[in-house]
């Protein structure tokens, strides 16, 4: 269910909104093959009416399951927005969409989450990536195989 509120309710007092948004509402579950958002976004927001705008502010939390881009190990990462805010003008060119006095905050939350997703998820900053096979494994496990000769080594054999 998207995060919507009625602006008429703001005429008397500020709204306190607390709950969660399913990831399916944000359409972020398949943005990156290394990042998986399987859990809902938790929000704790206060919405207030300004002169010709609405201000929503509070915190958002989302747990991600990621795969390291270097070693492919799975790990979890939490996106935390402690001081998230959205200023929604009700007039002008960039006014928020109001349908039957209802404003949807979901697109604004989605935008900030997408912009905060890691571009290259790493399990740790010093991750060295996949381990190369050991020399013993190559030599002993697969039998002794001569190293492939390069084109240059063959050319060096020519006597001109």
Running DSSP on this structure, what letter comes out for residue 70? T
Residue 153 lies in a domain: no
Residue 34 lies in a domain: yes
Residue 135 lies in a domain: no
Distance separating alpha carbons of residues 39 and 43, to the nearest angstrom: 13
76-126 tens-digit pLDDT: 999 999 999 999 998 888 888 888 989 999 999 999 999 999 889 999 989
16-63 tens-digit pLDDT: 999 999 988 888 877 889 999 989 999 999 999 988 899 999 999 999
Distance spanning both ends of the chain, measured CA to CA: 79
Number of domains in the chain: 1
Residue 138 lies in a domain: no
Q: Which residues are within 8 A (CB) of 34 and not within 5 positions of it... i.e. 6 or more apart?
A: 66, 67, 68, 69, 121
Residue 109 lies in a domain: yes
Residue 141 lies in a domain: no
Q: Which residues span the domain enclosing 31?
A: 4-130
What pTM was computed for the model?
A: 0.75
Residue 143 lies in a domain: no
Contact 119, 35 (CB under 8 A): no
SS3 91: coil
Residue 157 lies in a domain: no
């Amino acid at each position: 269910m998207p995060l919507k509120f009625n602006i008429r309710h703001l005429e008397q007092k500020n709204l306190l909104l607390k709950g969660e948004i399913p990831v399916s509402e944000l359409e972020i579950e398949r943005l990156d093959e290394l990042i998986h958002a399987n859990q809902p976004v938790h929000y704790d927001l206060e919405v207030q009416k300004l002169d010709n705008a609405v201000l929503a502010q509070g915190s958002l939390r989302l747990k991600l399951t990621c795969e390291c881009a270097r070693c492919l190990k799975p790990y979890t990462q939490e996106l935390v927005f402690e001081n998230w805010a959205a200023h929604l003008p009700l007039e002008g060119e960039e006014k928020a969409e109001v349908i039957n006095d209802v404003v949807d905050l979901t697109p604004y939350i989605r935008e900030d989450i997408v912009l905060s997703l890691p571009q290259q998820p790493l399990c740790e900053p010093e991750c060295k990536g996949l381990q190369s096979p050991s020399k013993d494994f190559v030599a002993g496990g697969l039998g002794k195989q001569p190293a492939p000769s390069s084109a240059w080594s063959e050319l060096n054999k020519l006597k001109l």
